[in-house]
């Protein structure tokens, strides 16, 4: 995807070790203190979310469908996230039986409380990241200047490459599904999401290339920051300009489905042209036949509380928060070429 802020200012490696990628969920609500779902905050290392969910089901002696979590977290990281465990009789096995530690894997209970409902997907406010880039090559002054730009102006809100599978396998599988191949329910959901994300990224890439990813076009549909609320198109006024500058609203792009585009004019024309090249028509047709409805996503993302420090001359630590559904890799991409070592193993 094209960068919004110019050529790369560094090359580096990421996730040389699990501790180089720390992510902590920012909770979207406080526990109710009562109910039949045990809400656990766990710290894990060397385990993905699905593995921990299976372990929790075995520990509790329940079906895995009784386990809830807000988002998926990678195993090549140290992550802190919530899980819910359905225990109708409010009788939990000893929490100590969950904990485990070894050179390659670790699981620790940080907190627990009772709650009235199962933890839903997306039930978080966002994520806080602490990332360590190693083998950094680049001028420190240029790197820090770019980081200051990202803090002040934000980055294009691309979907990360992990949404598409290794080598884009999810997109190939989505096209096969649209052509008639049967898939399981969970895989279907993933493939539909991948197809939508690919079309959105095309639109955003076109607007980045045109220099209008963070400014309005005629017929713009606006998204309210921190929500899914969309309004417009409407004339661009000084009031809207002030809200745009304050990151209260963002230009938006389509998450394809049935129905008319919310955007009109120049914005709609650019969206349709960007999605047109093959296999765009097949992806759009498949999403419509699957019954998805038109939605929107903000084109712009600002990392909150972005800070950095040099641990060594070639080792840079970054810390920032992002809202749910966005990707730390989109922030790193605006710095330069960052190789994720974990994906090469």
Who's near 96: CB < 8 A, 6+ residues apart? 109
* Bridge partner residues of 156 (DSSP): 300
What is the CA 271 to chain-centroid distance, rounded? 22
Q: How do strand 315-323 and strand 230-231 relate by DSSP bridges?
A: unpaired
Q: How many CB atoms lie within 10 A of CB 278?
A: 7
Give the whole-angstrom CA distance, residue 24 versus residue 37.
21
Q: Under a CB-based contact definition with an 8 Å cutoff, are residues 60 and 52 in contact?
A: no
Give the whole-angstrom CA distance, residue 24 versus residue 118.
20
Active site residue 74: yes
DSSP readout, 78-145?
EEEEEEEEE-TT--PPPGGGT-EE-SS-EEEEEEEEEESSPPPTT-EEEEEEEEEEEEEES-HHHHHH
Handedness of CA 127, 130, 134, 136 (dihedral sign): positive
Residue 211, burial from CB neighbour count under 10 angstroms (0-12, 13-18, 19+)? exposed
Handedness of CA 25, 225, 340, 280 (dihedral sign): positive
Give the whole-angstrom CA distance, residue 11 versus residue 137.
5
Give the whole-angstrom CA distance, residue 152 versus residue 271.
26
Catalytic-role residue among 74, 135, 225, 314? 74
Q: Under a CB-based contact definition with an 8 Å cutoff, are residues 252 and 296 in contact?
A: yes
Active-site annotation, residues: 74
């Amino acid at each position: 995807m094209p960068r919004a802020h110019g050529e790369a200012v560094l090359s580096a490696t990421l996730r040389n070790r699990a501790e180089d990628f720390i992510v902590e969920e920012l909770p979207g609500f406080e526990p109710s203190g009562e109910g039949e779902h045990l809400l656990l905050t766990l710290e894990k290392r060397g385990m993905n979310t699905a593995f921990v969910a299976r372990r929790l089901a075995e520990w509790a002696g329940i079906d895995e469908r009784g386990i809830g979590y807000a988002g998926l977290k990678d195993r090549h990281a140290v992550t802190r996230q919530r899980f819910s465990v359905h225990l109708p009789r409010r009788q939990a096995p000893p929490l100590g039986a969950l904990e485990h530690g070894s050179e390659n894997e670790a699981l620790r209970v940080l907190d627990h409380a009772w709650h009235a409902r199962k933890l839903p997907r997306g039930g978080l406010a966002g994520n806080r990241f602490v990332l360590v880039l190693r083998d950094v090559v680049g001028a420190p002054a240029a790197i820090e200047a770019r980081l200051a730009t990202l803090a002040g102006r934000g980055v294009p809100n691309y979907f990360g490459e992990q949404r598409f599978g290794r080598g884009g396998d999810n997109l190939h599988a989505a096209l096969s599904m649209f052509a008639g191949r049967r898939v399981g329910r969970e895989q279907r959901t993933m493939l539909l999401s991948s197809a939508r994300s690919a079309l959105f990224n095309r639109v955003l890439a076109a607007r980045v290339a045109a220099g209008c990813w963070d400014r309005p076009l005629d017929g713009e549909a606006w998204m309210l920051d921190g929500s899914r609320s969309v309004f417009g198109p409407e004339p661009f006024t000084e009031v809207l300009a002030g809200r745009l500058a304050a990151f209260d609203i963002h230009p938006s792009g389509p998450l394809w489905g049935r129905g008319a585009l919310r955007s009109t004019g120049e914005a709609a024309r650019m969206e349709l042209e960007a999605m047109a090249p093959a296999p765009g028509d097949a992806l759009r047709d498949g999403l419509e036949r699957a019954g998805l409805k038109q939605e929107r996503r903000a084109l712009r993302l600002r990392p909150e509380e972005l800070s950095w420090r040099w641990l060594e001359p070639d080792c840079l630590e970054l810390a920032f928060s992002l809202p749910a559904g966005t990707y730390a890799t989109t922030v790193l991409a605006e710095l330069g070429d960052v190789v994720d070592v974990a994906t090469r193993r």
